[in-house]
Amino acid sequence: MMQIKNIKSFVLLVITLVLGSNINAQVHDKSWQNMIHNKESKWFATDEAKQIAENVLLYQRDIGGWPKNVQMHHPLSKEQKEELLLKKKTNEGATTDNGATIQELLFLSKIYGQTKREAYKKAFLKGVDYILEAQYDNGGWPQFYPLRKGYYTHITYNDDSMVNIMKLLKALIDDSGVYTIKPFEAQLQKITTAFNKGIDCILKTQYKQNGVLTAWCAQHDEVTLEPADARSFELKSLSGAESAHIVLLLMSIENPSKDIINAINSAVTWFEKVKITGLRKDRIYNGVGKIVDKRMIPDETAPAIWARFMNLEDNKPFFCDRDGIKKWKLEDIGDERRNGYAWYKSDPQLVLDAYPIWKSSLKKKRTKKHKDELNITVAKDGSGDYVSIQEAINNTKSFPYDRVTIHVKNGIYKEKVKIHEWNSNIQLVGESKENTIITYDDYFNKVGLGRNSTFYTYTLLVEANNVILKNLTIENSSGRVGQAVALSVFSDEVAVVNCKLLGNQDTLYASGKGKQYYKDCYIEGTTDFIFGSATAFFENCEIHSKKNSYITAASTPKDSLFGYVFKDCKLTADKDVDEVYLGRPWRIYAQTVFINCDLSTHILPEGWHNWSKPEAEKTTFYAEYKNYGKSFKPKKRVEWSHQLKKRESEAYTIKNVLGNDKKTSKTEWYETF
């Protein structure tokens, strides 16, 4: 029987060959494409290659992309060069259609590998930035960027435009060796985010026919994600060829999620359902070898084929001329479109051939069991017990008597993670704070669940008691788009140690009536980025403001003894930030205290804001004790805040705030890690 490693290699080989062969599918003169793919490595060190590289640099627009259907190796006159210099500034024609930009990046990578000339690397990285900039927030890419009016703005799977982009990003993420130029770390993180968003877009655009997932269309509307028309003869429809290459891309993902697996299985079922047998394409040529007619001939021995366009409602193949009217027979459209367009394709057969092997490989991976129920490992590369953090949590014992430690290897985990109420006594430990990253990009308007949408935007949600999070980066990557939570904690006896909490508005939702401990953490945000009702003790943390706004928005219950306590923390800010409040009351009984904290120059002299609630000035408790730094100006604080006396400050020890056995020396829950 074929070994797993060989199965994986076979599937990836099929996928690579198929996807690689489809770049520039509609370019008639493929000399430039052939030169990029077929020249030996040593040729890229020749003077001929270097001269062509100068053309490639000249054709690159200032925005980073290239125009399509250009034979870059053709010599340029002085006038042509002057014209290209003008087009550089206008960014005219920059696109990823027909393999443009993707193939130029491959050329630059190959010539850089031989010459190490910095200009090639700079142009390559600029081209990658162009692709990242062109991506929509929903994860799709338009055909042209800067955007052109018309169907060019649609999310474009046609001629594998988006698949080619995704292949490039995946090769850079995997460091597969295809490209000799490696992105810098910050750019690589953006690439990973872009790839994950692209996969999300692919999953969301898979068409449902009567509630059943099928395949994809050549174009999808960039706002609604619904099927969309393109040219007059390219009406919205299910596409055989483009869908095949999307599925091959999904099959190349090393550790697919359940949604990806479901998408592949559904598409394969659809391919089987709509394949056409007993019909053969027949071409009629003239004396000089030009196709003058195409016909479909009955032939029981012919291999399966698939229509280019299929009706959204019933999968019925149709054909279209430049008049934009559906025809149900190929012979019913004119010579020009009938002979100049690929109306039938066999690409889905490659998916059907690879599918059994992919399925077998997947099954063997899924049957692997972890030996130690108290120590579980998650690793993106498949070397652990699970590849998904959520999968590991879901497979732990409910309400365990002993602590379960889930070790998370370095990697970027694009997933919403929920530690359920029954998953108590869990410890989630990253390999390193900097490189073990849990990220997601939900935000208020994206979730769209009404006025309480904020609470659904979390990247990681803790509902269980007695949980430890350690050595992790927890990020909401949606950007400055309103409320978007990175970490939500609703429960009791939760410790967050040596973690980075990244986001903008509402980064940390520290809520519920339980007790929470944040130690040696970095927490950043813009507005109200630490908010909620919990009793929370922050020790030796860096609290970083990214905008002139508010740090805390406590909603402490009226009967709570303590709210938020910050001790030995450092408050920092971006360079242009200089007007930040320590807090404002989300609810009028808010309690927030800063003790022995270093306040940089960004904190406003008044310190606190009443959120336009005059009554809150009588009910909140905002206080400080022995803070220091340029922004510690106790005499200028609002008169309804407090500067604690030494005797009053003694109430704010960690044992007093978080402890359960205040009068004994018994080990407390926050001392057990």
Cis bond before residue 605 (omega within 30° of 0): no
Asked if 233 and 223 count as a contact pair (C-beta separation under 8 A), the reply is no
Active site residues: 506, 528
287: left (phi over 0), alpha (psi -120 to 50) or beta: alpha
Average confidence (pLDDT) per 10 residues, the chain, 673 residues: 42 49 49 91 95 97 96 94 94 94 97 96 97 96 95 94 96 91 90 93 96 96 95 91 95 87 96 93 74 81 92 94 89 82 90 92 62 87 87 90 94 94 95 95 90 94 96 96 96 97 97 96 98 97 98 96 98 96 97 97 97 96 96 96 96 94 79 83
CA distance 477 to 500: 13
Per-residue CA distances from 227 to 164, 209, 321, 656 (Å): 20, 12, 19, 60
- pLDDT tens for 514-530 read 999 999 999 999 999 99
- Cα 25 to chain centroid distance, Å, stands at 28
* 173 CB-near residues (< 8 Å, 6+ apart): 188, 191, 192, 195
pTM score, whole prediction: 0.59
What is the per-residue pLDDT for 336? 82
Asked if 554 and 586 count as a contact pair (C-beta separation under 8 A), the reply is yes
Q: Mean pLDDT in the chain?
A: 91
In terms of Cα–Cα distance, which of 639, 364, 349, 669 is closest to 535? Answer: 669
What is the per-residue pLDDT for 20? 47
CA distance 298 to 301: 9
* 217 CB-near residues (< 8 Å, 6+ apart): 157, 205, 207, 227, 228, 236, 237, 238, 239, 242, 312
Structural domains of the chain, with CATH: 4-354 (1.50.10.20), 413-645 (2.160.20.10)
Q: Which amino acid is at 624?
A: E
Assign 3-class secondary structure to 541-583.
CEEEECCCCEEEEECCCCCCCCCEEEECCEEEECCCCCCEEEE
